[in-house]
Amino acid sequence: MPLTEHLREFRSRTLLSVLGLLAGAVGGWFLFDPVFNGLAQPILDLQEQGLNATLNFTTVAAAFDMKMRIALFIGAFISSPWWIYQMWAFIAPGLKRTEKHYVLLFTAATIPLFLAGAALGWFLLPHAVTIFISFTPDAAANFIDARTYLTFCMRLVLAFGIAFLFPVVMVILNLLGVVRGSTFLRGWRWAVVLIFTFAAFANPLPDPWTMIALGLIMVGLYYGTIGLCVLNDRRRDRRAAQRDAELGIG
């Protein structure tokens, strides 16, 4: 496919992804109340414990701005099957005809991984808020800017969701013939270092146990993906050897 065709395809897939996101945001608009209540629940729990903490809207339009942001946030999850499929559909032309059916398999694998990571981030969110706000001195009050709080929550949940997508990236690189499974295996030391470095930055809690748990989960995904890549390499090598034998090469 020529470069101009790739650019047109990229523009088309991006537009379809944005339209899907906006459609999901419409649904997210009507789900604002339960999601906002869930995000604000850690603050309410701290109030019940006697801590002086509350969300603060600093401008007239701040509440509307927050509702728009949360609607888009929800829309990203509602439309995740759509925009994830568009991502793989853009990559599909680089695959062989016999490998294009993997696009649906990638979509089916990517969605639960993304949602599982986001669910883990959502589970850790109240613990992170509780720990950070607990450092507020007794003589002080904690008036939290609503926009800042929402940004913190969204980044936490999305960071964990995106972190769980790296196995699919490894598989697609392997299918395209860019990296073999043995190469991933030889680089396991650097991979473990990078994984735990990411876990340290993504972990919102000051204790090391959450970081270790996230790192171990990602390491397990890494080695499981290596197994899939090695199986694919063996299949590809057998086919290459069979073709060479048929052509009388070697």
List the structure tokens of 161: 């969701």
For residue 1, the model assigns a pLDDT of: 60
pLDDT tens by residue, 53-91: 888 888 888 888 888 888 988 888 888 888 878 877 777
pLDDT at res. 23 = 92
Of 84, 38, 131, 95, whose CA–CA distance to 232 is shortest?
Answer: 95
- pLDDT at residue number 110: 79
* pTM listed for this prediction: 0.68
Supply the pLDDT for residue 100. Answer: 61
Q: How many residues are recorded in the chain?
A: 250
Q: Do residues 198 and 150 touch, judged by C-beta distance below 8 A?
A: no
Q: What do you get for the CA distance between the two ends of the chain, in Å? A: 33
**pLDDT given at position 192:** 92
* Segments of the chain scoring below 70 in pLDDT: 1-3, 92-104, 106-107, 203-207, 248-250
Residue 228 buriedness (CB in 10 A; 0-12 / 13-18 / 19+): middle
Give residue limits of the domains in the chain.
1-92+112-160, 165-250
Please name the helix (run of DSSP H) or strand (run of DSSP E) that holds residue 142, with its range, or none.
strand 142-145
Question: How far from the centroid of its chain's Cα atoms is residue 192's Cα?
Answer: 19
